[in-house]
Structure 1
Amino acid sequence: MSFFEENCPEMDRYLENHASAEPEILKRLRKETFQKTTQPHMISGYQQGRLLSILSKMMQPKSVLEIGTFTGYATLCLAEGLAENGKITTLDVNEELAYLPKKYFAESEFSEKINFRLQDAKDFLKETEEVFDLVFIDADKENYAEYFRLIKPKVKSGSVIMFDNVLWYGKVLEENPKQQSTKKIKELNDLVAQDTDFENLILPLRDGVNLIRKI
């Protein structure tokens, strides 16, 4: 949930009313996510989805990696900008929920471009030799710093990496956080800010997106 959703719903509605329309398939997926999952707030949602779509369309990536599929909302947004021969590999470990993204991937116009895998992301990154144009991570926060270390050799100059939830409901401002997830998000943000191979900006959209570009 974003700061505005929690503190200023009128502003949040204004932002949505002045953004590009959400495709019909995403409206249905968002509705079913709220009906059938116990943590529907994990979905990327309207505003963030349009950010992912626009960025993907600007880049027209040939190879996209997503870590953390959930119900597939962000996957479909990222797929909107794929190059003609492009593909997106999306990873998750939740077997019980896998039926939902599979259903919507099959319905979408991007079905042939989506490679949905039930696999641990760290194992995948250690095994793959693929180089990615665009990477989006919205998964277990405790592994964020490790994901960054493993992804670094899998991107090239001009590639973009995005980490979601990097403000962690404002907990990143805690000097001595007790939660391991908060510690790891702060570690990630520090790693990125200090790495001279990248340039970045944290966008205060929803719960914070660290937008990172390989120099």
Structure 2
Amino acid sequence: MKGNLLGPNVAQYILDHTTKPDPLLEALAKETVAATGDSAGMQITADQGRLLTMITQLVAPDVAVEVGTFTGYSSLCIARGLSGGTLHCFDVSEEWTSIARRYWETAGVADRITLTIGPARDTLAAFHERVDLAFLDADKPNYPAYYELLVDRLRPGGLLMVDNTLWKGRVADPADNEPATVVMREFNDLVAEDPRVTVVVLPVADGLTLVRKN
């Protein structure tokens, strides 16, 4: 699972006082660990999942988009928050998203989700619907490209949520010049300086940035 920037006691306290995931989400989290090993860290945390559902319920999107589906935890949380809209998922892996498809079916939300397999820079470019809500959690070097494609499609007042933006806190260390850290730091600067949006960075799990289109 993804790391948490808070101390372990505070992180556990938050989990203890957040509505717990149901058995289906717990089963998906366990299967992800068993199936993907070290890659399971790409899965969002339980508190993030609850937050995604709540934000989706608040926004009530007709069109939601997810870039980076993996085994489906975040997409399941978003789909459960929909009240009549559709979630469009973009990912490159048939293998990992096959797990997602099973859980969507079991949860009874498969009819709310469309999945497109292929490089998201291409598939998003071919997607022309106006977007109300988006979640970005994919390969970090392409974050700037995905960001531009998503913001361009967001309606005024639409919301984009971006994961991993604090990168284990390393983005705040000017002495850390590891390539991945630099990528995320530059991305954060790009978003913060974008006059088209209003931005809040939340210290949730590995950092979750909320981007509202003005």
* Aligned 8 A contact 1:142 1:180 in 2: no
| Counterpart residue identity of residue 3, structure 1 | L
Distance 2:130 2:137 in 1: 19
2:67 corresponds in structure 1 to 67
1:34 corresponds in structure 2 to 33
Deviation track 1:96-144 (CA, whole Å, cap 9, x = no partner) reads 3232111111211211001122121110121111111111001101111
2:170 corresponds in structure 1 to 171
- SS of the residue corresponding to residue 163 of structure 1 reads strand
- SS of the residue corresponding to residue 95 of structure 2 reads coil
Deviation track 1:68-96 (CA, whole Å, cap 9, x = no partner) reads 10110000111122132x11011111223
Q: Return the match for 2:5 from 3, 6, 28.
A: 3
Q: Per-residue deviation at 1:182?
A: 2.0
- SS of the residue corresponding to residue 116 of structure 1 reads strand
Distance 1:111 1:102 in 2: 7
* Aligned 8 A contact 2:79 2:87 in 1: yes
2:79 corresponds in structure 1 to 79
Matched residue count: 211
Distance 2:95 2:177 in 1: 30
Distance 1:183 1:148 in 2: 17
Deviation track 1:157-196 (CA, whole Å, cap 9, x = no partner) reads 1100011000111221243654332222112211111112
* Aligned 8 A contact 2:5 2:169 in 1: no
Gap change, CA 1:56 and 1:164, over 3 Å in 2: same
Query: TM-score, normalising length from structure 2?
Result: 0.93
1:199 corresponds in structure 2 to 198
Aligned-residue sequence identity (percent) comes to: 34
Distance 1:13 1:128 in 2: 40
Distance 1:206 1:47 in 2: 8
Distance 2:145 2:116 in 1: 20
Moved over 6 A (4+): none
More moved, 35-44 vs 64-73:
35-44
| Counterpart residue identity of residue 164, structure 1 | D
What stretches of structure 2 of length at least 5 have no aligned partner? none
1:69-108 residue pairs with structure 2 within 5 A? 69-84=69-84, 86-108=85-107
Asked if 1:144 is matched to 2:160, the reply is no
1:155-170 residue pairs with structure 2 within 5 A? 155-170=154-169
Q: Per-residue deviation at 1:209?
A: 0.6
* Aligned 8 A contact 1:61 1:81 in 2: no
- SS of the residue corresponding to residue 96 of structure 1 reads helix
1:114-153 residue pairs with structure 2 within 5 A? 114-153=113-152
1:55 corresponds in structure 2 to 55
1:183-198 residue pairs with structure 2 within 5 A? 183-198=182-197
| Counterpart residue identity of residue 186, structure 1 | R
* Aligned 8 A contact 1:145 1:184 in 2: no
What stretches of structure 1 of length at least 5 have no aligned partner? none
